[in-house]
Amino acid sequence: MNELYQKHETEINEILSRYPENFKRSAIMPLLFLAQREKGFVPQEALAQIADITGVSETDVASVLGFYSLFQETPGGRYRIQVCTDLPCALRGSETYLKNLCEALGVKTGEITEDGLFSVEAVKCLAACHRAPMFQLQGDGEIKYYENQSVELTMQIIEGIRASVASEKEGKHG
């Protein structure tokens, strides 16, 4: 089998075991999440690897990758700040919050901060409408919710992440 499989053999076998033997195709989405975990986007070579593991064509995998918005095909900021600006959140000021947050970070939506760490986007309802403004943070293979936000609170969270990334780097050098 291929490199992706060899690297994550136990985990991939566990994923495959959730679905009937003759419907390996069901593993495509979990495998895309796995392939995306490392770099924050699905690298090109993963398509053939996933096709190989699930016994479908590369085109089939690509169609799934393209259809779902949580799968990324290109690199972005290491952390994606996704602010909900859908109707209920907008009624509670999330559009203004997003605008002010962008200003505080010195970016427009879709752009990456100077340090290459963060990008900010507006997204649709995340099932947290009663705790707006809110955002989800996608990065390092995880998705976390931050609710009842103000720009000040969010900037504190961002500084916290910056600090831990910096100490991570120092750790590597030291």
Residues in the site for another protein, rule: CB under 8 A? 18, 20, 23, 25-30, 32-33, 54, 56, 60, 63-64, 67-71, 86-88, 90-92, 124-131, 136, 142-145
At CA 43, angle to CA 138 and CA 39, rounded to 5?
35
Which of 130/169 has CB closer to another protein? 130
Q: Are strands 135-139 and 118-123 parallel, antiparallel or unpaired?
A: unpaired
User: 60: left (phi > 0), else alpha (psi -120 to 50), else beta?
Assistant: alpha
Q: State the binding partner of 48 from another protein, ligand FES, none, CB within 5 to 8 A by kind.
A: none
| Count of Cβ atoms closer than 10 Å to residue 51 Cβ | 20
What's the closest the beta carbon of residue 145 comes to another protein, in angstroms?
A: 7
Q: How far apart are CA 80 and CA 62, in angstroms?
A: 22
What's the closest the beta carbon of residue 127 comes to another protein, in angstroms?
A: 4
Which of 89/101 has CB closer to ligand FES? 89
What's the closest the beta carbon of residue 125 comes to another protein, in angstroms?
A: 4
What's the closest the beta carbon of residue 142 comes to another protein, in angstroms?
A: 7
Which of 60/95 has CB closer to ligand FES? 95
Which of 111/147 has CB closer to another protein? 147
Under the rule (CB under 6 A), what is the footprint of ligand FES? Answer: 84, 86, 88-89, 125-129, 132
78: Cβ contacts below 8 Å, ≥ 6 apart: 40, 116, 117, 118, 139, 140, 165
CA of residue 81 relative to chain centroid, distance: 9
